[in-house]
Structure 1
Amino acid sequence: MGSRRHRTVALVLAALSGLLTLTGTAVAQSENRELIDGLEYQLLYVALPLTLFVLMILVYAAVKFHDNDTPQPTTEDPALEITWTAATAIILLFVGLSGYSVLVNPYVSPSQANDVDTNGSQQGIESFDELPETDDEAVHVRGYQWEWQATYPEANVTTENEIVIPADEDVTFWLTADDVIHSLFVPDLGVKQDAFPGDYTRARTIVSEPGRYDAVCAEFCGAGHSRMNAEVVVVERATYDQWLAENEGTVAEAPTPD
């Protein structure tokens, strides 16, 4: 009996220690990623003690009553019922408010940005030239089977499967698709936005660390979907300006991050 209890406790502790390893944090490279990671860890820190509490009750019940062949039926306990109902409501309220505070952030939901009146989508607009102006650095991104094309209206520079942006500045990606629905997803930056044929959608970010960040299409778009990869290349502002000036009106390769 004692060894069985010890094994059960050991398994529970091992499971919890595995969960705790998930709480190791890496430095977020963008405002989007920082917001999303912060929400995930906030919810995790609440979920862990609740998980421990439930597991302890399960272990206690399994050990104490496993030989009880004539269990007694439960009786009504209004105080207990009110307590667990209120506790559940508080937990759900916390989860809802935590998620909402991230959802309304202008980097996660561009409709909350103060510099442009948009709901994140611009139906009825027929070209990038008709999009509203913002204070952000704008990049026009076009998805098609199975490539990404980025255009920089400031200098009419185009890149293929590379999206160049300046570091430490607000950036707006305006996205559309030529054929089917695509979705630009940059996991390390916490950026994900669908691109629709005949429509223009918006994603925003600000990236603190120059470098290359993998991007993929997150919407199944045909036989070549798995090959629809790209890189977001983040460089210092001076490098970005020089690159635009040197490649104006051309199809160029991305500069090397500083």
Structure 2
Amino acid sequence: MRRHRGLAEVLAVVGLVVVGVAGVVALSASPAAAQSVNRDAIDNLNEQLLYVALPLVLFVEITLVYAVYRFRDNDDPTPTTKDSPLEITWTAATGVILLFVGVSAYFVLANPYITPAAASGPTVETDGDPVEVDVVAYQWGWEFRYPDANVTTDTRLVLPRGRDVVLSLHTRDVIHSFYVPDLGLKQDAVPGQTTPIRTRATETGEYRLYCAELCGVGHARMHGTVTVVSPSAYDEWLATGELPADESTTASENATAVRQAGIAF
């Protein structure tokens, strides 16, 4: 019996140390700059929830270690006596925490870059009208149409940095999912429906596009590239179909930096 108690104490202490080290690393790490306003909103929410979750985890682990140590030799335990003030306190504390999580999540979900149909959200000043692109998903690829410029591309979506973009998502056959993790974009394409996605990229570079919905035997190869370039390079690309050499080099270098930072999935 004493051997089992000793093992429990060791495991509890190890768990506390691991959680403490992970918490310190998480709080001290400097997050990489977000590549879009969508990703920035999601990262900010995760950071807020992290600052709430870590103290709670540490509190629970410390309480566990205390209980294991304090009652390690108690061979005749008795039920905990009723303590109304304590019960009211932890119930109220739980309610406050849930309210904070709910309010924080609401403001993110009300952001038009996260929920394009949201009626409220931040007012963002951008240069020019939003860029509109029709995104067509099919088994097993992507097609991007720029109606204002009469341009159509396959597998590569080119976007200007610093301008709002509205992507109208369609599918020709089954359900697909437009997923660009580095830009914080993920939206299902449902047959017979047009689904909008709103974004504004803040960093030039190349970002991987995936289909995140199992759509058949070719699902694994249904991917593409989102290339974010400067506004002038974007205008030149629409006119000539080619990106300036310096923009292509910069995009590739930025993509490499993102992958080395462990951001890309």
Which bracket does the TM-score occupy, shorter chain normalised? Answer: 0.7 to 0.9
In structure 2, stretches of 5+ residues that fail to align are 121-127, 251-265
What is the identity, as a one-letter code, of the residue corresponding to 1:183? S
Q: Distance in 2 between matches of 1:210 and 1:28?
A: 11
Q: Distance in 2 between matches of 1:165 and 1:175?
A: 15
How far the C-alpha of 1:94 sits from its partner, in A, is 0.4
* Superimposed CA distance per residue, residues 37-84 of structure 1 (whole angstroms, 9 cap, x where no aligned partner): 000011011110111000000000011112211112222111111101
How far the C-alpha of 1:135 sits from its partner, in A, is 3.7
What is the identity, as a one-letter code, of the residue corresponding to 1:256? S
Q: Distance in 2 between matches of 1:148 and 1:113?
A: 29
Is 1:162 the counterpart of 2:156 in the alignment? yes
53, 56, 64: which one pairs with 1:50? Answer: 56
| Counterpart residue number, 1:256 | 248
After superposition, the Cα gap between the structure-2 partners of 1:198 and 1:10, relative to the gap in structure 1 and judged at 3 Å, is: closer
Report which of the two has the higher share of helix. Answer: 2
| Counterpart residue number, 2:147 | 153
88, 97, 108: which one pairs with 2:94? Answer: 88
75, 82, 89: which one pairs with 2:81? Answer: 75
| Counterpart residue number, 2:192 | 198
After superposition, the Cα gap between the structure-2 partners of 1:155 and 1:189, relative to the gap in structure 1 and judged at 3 Å, is: same
TM-score by length of 1: 0.84
Q: Distance in 1 between matches of 2:171 and 2:25?
A: 40
| Counterpart residue number, 2:38 | 32
In structure 1, stretches of 5+ residues that fail to align are 115-133
* Superimposed CA distance per residue, residues 181-204 of structure 1 (whole angstroms, 9 cap, x where no aligned partner): 001000000011111122100001
Q: Distance in 1 between matches of 2:231 and 2:249?
A: 11
183, 205, 211: which one pairs with 2:177? Answer: 183
How far the C-alpha of 1:112 sits from its partner, in A, is 2.4
How far the C-alpha of 1:178 sits from its partner, in A, is 0.3
Q: Distance in 2 between matches of 1:6 and 1:188?
A: 40
How far the C-alpha of 1:8 sits from its partner, in A, is 4.7
| Counterpart residue number, 1:13 | 17
Contact 2:233 2:243 in 1 (8 A): no
TM-score by length of 2: 0.82
* Superimposed CA distance per residue, residues 83-121 of structure 1 (whole angstroms, 9 cap, x where no aligned partner): 01100100000000010010000100101267xxxxxxx
Is 1:215 the counterpart of 2:209 in the alignment? yes
* Count of aligned pairs between the two proteins: 235
How far the C-alpha of 1:172 sits from its partner, in A, is 0.6
Q: Distance in 2 between matches of 1:235 and 1:65?
A: 63
Give the SS at the match of 1:110. coil
Q: Distance in 1 between matches of 2:21 and 2:91?
A: 29
Identity between Structure 1 and Structure 2 (%): 50
Q: Distance in 2 between matches of 1:236 and 1:257?
A: 13
Q: Distance in 1 between matches of 2:132 and 2:248?
A: 20
| Counterpart residue number, 1:102 | 108
What is the identity, as a one-letter code, of the residue corresponding to 2:130? D
